[in-house]
Amino acid sequence: MLKRIEGIDGVESIVDVLMKIDPNKVIDQKIKVLQDEKKVNQEQDKRAKMGGPREEAGIEGMDSSESSAPTTQPGTDLTDAPSPLPVGKSWFRDNFGMDGAEVCDLLVKSGRDELVKLIRPLIREERISLLKSYPSVSSSLIDELPFTDFDYSMLQKNPINLDIPFRRFVKSWNDASDDEGREKAYEVWSSRISKQHHLTRREDGILKRCQELLTKNGALNAQSMQSYGLEASTTEISMLIKSHGFLYSISSIGRGRVSNARSMFYDVSRTDMLIKDAGALIGGLFDNGGSIEVGSNGSPRLILPFNSAICKHYADALNQELDTKGVLAEGDGLVIEGELAVAKSLDVAMPHISERASDAKVLRKSIDSHENALRCLKYQLSSPSKQVSLLKSWGISDEDLKSMREEIVNG
């Protein structure tokens, strides 16, 4: 497997990688293996056509007792050798971060047309592996289905969403008794993966805008996308992404503790972790089930529930974006700890916090050693019996504390 190419100075995308690196060092590496495999196959065919010695020829080998059959000589056994180039169902994306068709386009743009003929067999093998990955789907359909590059790309990128529709299509295709039946089966499949047949112009515009925002800013929830001017309700955004987001490479990547449309976060498919708007992510998570803690040493902690399989990657990305080391992945969420990390997080998240804005402001001013803010925070995090004791020791009433808190929040 070709080692992934990343972290190259001056490179903005995988397209830049392949354009800036001589193809002889990247794509030609794989092509050479393919050429070697072709030579082996040609040698096998040649030997098969030549055949072995006739039984009646009387060839028995050497008579000397010191002689033995040359079965261990290098190159004498070709038939059992494994293929030097196993191609899986996502071989191109695993190696180059793009589809095989996209690699071909890149070769053409870079003036390497002669290499496209050698790439095409690899694309075919990858697609055969893709077909084999579906139960009861024969790889021989590679020569029957009228699939375009777009069909295979959608199937490869959305194996879960398109699993049942694809298998239904294959069954209809195999059951069809004539070309007209097969054409109808393909029309049904094609309409399933086509935007135009399912969405109104307005819905298509909403999803395109979601795609643009996520590509530019990284993971966002529906409410955050609204703050960027997306004119749709959070429920409509969530439902459209759930039903047709895969057509725009959008998928859910995790949710907060509260089970509603605003709690789900989305992102576009990407080969790297990108968070350009850390405030939107932190603010959204805090509004949807976040909490505040203070350690025994007085250090503040933000607890942000985030049920995601890649929570650790988001923690690392937030640390990089905020230039801190205080963001950790713990349990089912993110934890931001330490005065510096919490202060930076609140500073960027405050514009995106709505329902918990007062709590965030009290905590932020407490970090700056604001006396009344420290009192309000201590009261907020204490048990009911402790709260009574605190009010007595401070010589104030509940109403006094409420007024104090309002002044901090509005000040």
pLDDT in tens, 194-223: 765 567 788 888 999 999 999 888 888 898
Is residue 251 domain-shared with residue 127, that is, in the same domain? no
| Local confidence band at 21 (pLDDT 50, 70, 90 cut-offs) | very low
Q: Is residue 48 very low, low, confident or very high in pLDDT (cuts 50, 70, 90)?
A: low
Query: Of the given ranges (80-84, 345-349, 390-394), which has the lowest mean pLDDT?
Result: 80-84
Domain that holds residue 35: 1-46+84-133
pLDDT greater at residue 20 or residue 248: 248
Is residue 7 included in any domain, yes or no?
yes
> Is residue 152 in some structural domain?
no
Q: In which order are the strands placed within the sheet that holds 327-330?
A: 291-294, 300-305, 333-337, 327-330
Both tokens of 148, joined, read 């375009």
Work out the average pLDDT over 250-267. Answer: 74
Q: What is the CATH number of the domain that holds 244?
A: 1.10.10.10
The predicted-structure confidence for 139-158, as pLDDT tens digits, reads as follows 899 889 988 888 888 888 88
250 with 122, same domain: the answer is no
My answer on whether 2 and 129 are in the same domain is yes
**DSSP characters for 206-229?**
HHHHHHHHHHHHBSEEHHHHHHTT
Three-state SS for 21?
Answer: coil
Beta strands (DSSP E) in 317-370 are 327-330, 333-337
Could you tell me if residue 190 is inside a domain?
Answer: no
Q: Is residue 27 in some structural domain?
A: yes
Residue 382 has pLDDT above 70, yes or no: yes
6 plus 128 within the same structural domain: yes
Assigned domain for 125 exists: yes
Both 126 and 2 in a single domain?
Answer: yes
Kindly report, residue by residue over 94-136, the tens digit of the pLDDT. 777 778 888 888 888 888 878 887 888 888 899 999 999 998 8
Residues 126, 8 share a domain: yes
Q: Is residue 23 part of a domain?
A: yes
pLDDT band at 51 (very low <50, low <70, confident <90, very high): low
What letters, b where the CB count within 10 A reaches 16 and e where it falls short, cover 375-397? bbbebbeeeeeebeeebeeeeee
Looking at residue 100, its pLDDT comes to 84
User: Is the pLDDT confidence value at 254 over 50?
Assistant: yes
| pLDDT given for residue 76 in this prediction | 35
147 in a structural domain: no
pLDDT band at 20 (very low <50, low <70, confident <90, very high): very low
Residue 89 shares a structural domain with residue 211: no
Q: How many domains does the chain have?
A: 3
Flag whether 72 is in a domain.
no
Same domain, 1 and 122: yes
**Considering the chain, what percentage of its residues have pLDDT values greater than 90?**
30
Q: Which of 268, 284, 308 is the last residue of a domain?
A: 268
Q: In angstroms, rounded to a whole number, what is the distance separating the alpha carbons of residues 360 and 292?
A: 9
Question: In terms of pLDDT, which residue wins out, 40 or 379?
Answer: 379
Q: What pLDDT score was predicted for residue 114?
A: 80
The model's pTM: 0.46
